[in-house]
């Protein structure tokens, strides 16, 4: 009778959560893709679930700036096949901008609390959505030679509306996500 010797697995202290941000981001972006695919447009406008989800991930994991840009590039790549936009490849520029803005805001020392409620998720989502959306529509305007009136009176209001929707969504989903995935202390 042969006996098997057990293997001993050693985990070095401080290394166990090194890639936690990748797992949290991947799960949240997967949820974002599903929500983007099933959410109907109301008056031609849908929430940008992917921005909301990467803002939640960045708020939870407090990634560095290079990691945030990586999250934005992955989000841009994911967006291309599911985008309804005229120029989906603009996501490769707009999503890293939004993710970087989110990381910059997360790492500021400004208090973003109202009473005992942390408003950082809402604020980062709103500003990141505007940064990403503004980058996206500016690329569209330049590449497609769109008139300034279309840019200012049709596209910019959509970006601001989506930012408002993302503010609410991100704030509402942040706290359940924090309970589920944990998060670094504020």
Report the 10 Å Cβ neighbour count for 175: 14
pLDDT for 158: 96
Q: Could you read off the pLDDT of 152-183 as tens digits, one per residue?
A: 999 999 999 999 999 999 999 999 999 888 75
Q: Could you read off the pLDDT of 112-155 as tens digits, one per residue?
A: 888 888 899 999 999 999 999 999 999 999 999 999 999 999 99
pLDDT for 114: 85
Q: Environment class of residue 116 by beta-carbon count within 10 Å: exposed (0-12), middle (13-18) or buried (19+)?
A: exposed
H/E element, 131: helix 120-144
What average pLDDT does the structure give for the chain? 90
pLDDT for 128: 98
How many helices and strands, by DSSP H and E, does the chain display? 7, 2
Report the 10 Å Cβ neighbour count for 54: 31
| Token couple for 40 | 């109907």
């Amino acid at each position: 009778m042969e006996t098997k010797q057990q293997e001993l697995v050693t985990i070095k202290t401080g290394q166990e959560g090194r890639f936690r941000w990748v797992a949290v981001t991947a799960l949240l972006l997967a949820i974002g893709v599903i929500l983007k695919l099933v959410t109907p447009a109301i008056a031609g406008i849908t929430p940008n679930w992917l921005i909301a989800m990467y803002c939640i991930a960045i708020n939870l994991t407090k990634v560095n700036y290079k990691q945030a840009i990586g999250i934005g590039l992955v989000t841009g790549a994911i967006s291309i096949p599911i985008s309804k936009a005229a120029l989906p490849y603009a996501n490769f520029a707009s999503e890293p901008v939004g993710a970087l803005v989110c990381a910059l805001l997360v790492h500021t020392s400004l208090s973003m609390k109202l009473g005992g409620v942390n408003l950082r998720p809402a604020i980062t989502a709103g500003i990141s959505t505007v940064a990403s959306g503004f980058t996206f529509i500016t690329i569209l305007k330049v590449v497609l030679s769109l008139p300034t009136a279309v840019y200012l009176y049709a596209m910019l209001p959509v970006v601001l509306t989506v930012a408002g929707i993302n503010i609410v969504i991100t704030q509402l989903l942040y706290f359940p996500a924090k309970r589920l995935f944990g998060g670094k202390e504020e």
